[in-house]
Amino acid sequence: APTSGHSYIFLCYLIRRTANMASSECQINSQKKTKKRKHEEGEMEVEETNFKRPNFPTLGGERLSLDDHAEVRKIAIPPHRYTPLKTNWLKIFNPVVDHLHLQIRFNLRSRNVELRTCKDTQDIGAIQKAADFVTAFTLGFEVEDALALIRLDDLFLESFDVTDVKPLKGDHLSRAIGRVAGKNGKTKFTIENVTRTRIVLADSKVHIMGSFQNMKTARRAICNLILGSPPGKVYGNMRTVASRISERF
């Protein structure tokens, strides 16, 4: 009798447990179905709604006029560039005024070249191009080379110090600069011709002008020369990278 009573209680426990498990599975399935239904309804709502793109008018010269908000840029001129600036002033003045339709002047008191937009300015990025153009001239680039910053959109300027690559002092620094320049500037000219960039060596400063990929190749070659790599090895690696870039484009 006691064994039959225990078995009866165990059977009741199993029946209740299976019933509870079945009910919990039904609740989980119903919750999944409701979530799926809500997700599908939400997707249908998104598909049915039509978004309209905003149509903003172009920003012309009227918005950039002096009466409203004239944008001004000031570029400091170092003392050793006063004479070249005076000699090449017309070559700088004409492209900025005729092509970019900006106002430009040289402030004798602050020794700055000041650029300003006017009512004739049509391009909102013209003042940035002019600032890059004047900055490139102050860094030591020729006016003819710096004009490419106005005519082309994918040219940039980059500057770094030789000591940023490797902390050198005294004769070690002079030899590193000499390795980058080469005899009579041959190494620098070779890097410029292969990578299609322009390089200026001003004491321990190195200034590079060109497209992003070309500047990257030239910077890697210059850094390898500073670190002590032989020029022949640098030339080979540079030509390989330049040929890959030309084949890619």
Whether the Cβ atoms of residue 175 and residue 167 lie closer than 8 Å to each other: no
**Residue 1 confidence (pLDDT):** 44
- Residue 71 CB burial class (10 angstroms; 0-12, 13-18, ≥19): middle
Name which residue leads in pLDDT, 37 or 111: 111
Name which residue leads in pLDDT, 209 or 232: 209
The band of 2, judged by pLDDT with boundaries at 50, 70 and 90, is very low
**Residue with structure tokens 């709502």?**
45
Whether the Cβ atoms of residue 126 and residue 117 lie closer than 8 Å to each other: yes
Nearest to 222 by CA among 185, 186, 176: 176
> In the structure encoding, which two tokens stand for residue 211, read together?
């497209």
**Residue 46 confidence (pLDDT):** 43
Nearest to 139 by CA among 116, 163, 156, 115: 156
The three-class DSSP label of residue 72 is: strand
Convert the pLDDT of each residue in 30-43 to its tens digit. 665 555 555 554 44
Helices (H), 103-170: 126-139, 143-146, 148-151, 162-165
**Residue 60 confidence (pLDDT):** 56
Nearest to 139 by CA among 66, 76, 223, 225: 76
**Residue 61 confidence (pLDDT):** 53
- Torsion angle, alpha carbons of 131, 133, 134, 135, to 10: 80
**Residue 244 confidence (pLDDT):** 76
Q: Is the pTM of this model over 0.85?
A: no
pLDDT at 112 > cutoff 50: yes
Cα–Cα separations (whole angstroms), residue 148 to 141, 144, 154, 157, 205: 11, 7, 10, 11, 22
